[in-house]
Amino acid sequence: MLSYEEALDHLLSAAVPVEEIRLLPLAVAAGRILAEAQVSTVTVPPLDNSAMDGYAVRCADVPEAGVALPVVQRIPAGSVGHALAIGTAARIFTGAPIPAGADAVVMQEFCEHGPNDMVIVNRVPTPGMNIRRAGEDIAAGAEVLAAGTRLGPAEIGLAASIGIAQLPVRRHLRVALLSTGDELTEPGNPLPPGGIYNSNRHFLRAMFESLGCAVTDAGHVPDTLEATRAALREAAGAHDLIVTSGGVSVGEEDHVKPAVEAEGELSLWKIAIKPGKPLAFGKVGSRGTAFIGLPGNPVSCFVTFLLFLRPYVLKRMGVRTTLPLARQLVSASDWNKPEDRRSFLRARIAADGRVELYPNQSSGVLTSCAWADGLVDVPAHQPFKAGDPVRYLAFADLL
Ligand code: AMP
Ligand code: MG
What mean pLDDT is predicted for residues 131-140? 96
* Closest ligand to the CA of 197: 1
| Cα-Cα-Cα-Cα dihedral sign, residues 74, 77, 78, 80 | positive
CA-proximal residue: ligand 1, atom 6 (nearest): 296
249 has a pLDDT exceeding 80? no
DSSP one-letter code for 306: I
The total of other beta-carbon atoms located within 10 Å of residue 45's CB is 17
Strand partners, 284: 264, 289
Q: Where are the beta strands (DSSP E) in 250-340?
A: 264-270, 273-274, 278-284, 289-294, 327-330
What mean pLDDT is predicted for residues 8-13? 95
What is the rounded CA–CA span in Å between residue 283 and residue 114?
Answer: 82
What is the rounded CA–CA span in Å between residue 39 and residue 140?
Answer: 8
140 has a pLDDT exceeding 90? yes
pTM equals 0.90
* 49 CB-near residues (< 8 Å, 6+ apart): 77, 95, 96, 97, 98, 131, 132
Residues 360, 334 contacting (CB under 8 angstroms): no
252 has a pLDDT exceeding 80? no
Q: Which residues line ligand 1 (CB under 6 A)?
A: 179, 181, 183-184, 196, 198-201, 245-247, 249, 295-298
- Give the per-residue pLDDT at 76: 97
What is the rounded CA–CA span in Å between residue 324 and residue 395?
Answer: 10
Comparing CA positions, the residue from 283, 274, 270, 263 lying closest to residue 377 is 274
DSSP one-letter code for 331: B
Identify the band that residue 276 occupies on the pLDDT scale cut at 50, 70 and 90.
Answer: confident
Cα 374 to middle of ligand 2, angstroms: 27
Cα 69 to middle of ligand 1, angstroms: 82
198 has a pLDDT exceeding 80? yes
CA-proximal residue: ligand 1, atom 17 (nearest): 296
Comparing CA positions, the residue from 360, 184, 175, 386 lying closest to residue 275 is 360
What is the rounded CA–CA span in Å between residue 245 and residue 219?
Answer: 11
Residues 219, 267 contacting (CB under 8 angstroms): no
Cα 200 to middle of ligand 1, angstroms: 8
Residue % of the chain over a pLDDT of 90: 92
Phi, psi of 334 (to 5 degrees): -90, 150
3-class secondary structure, 50 = strand
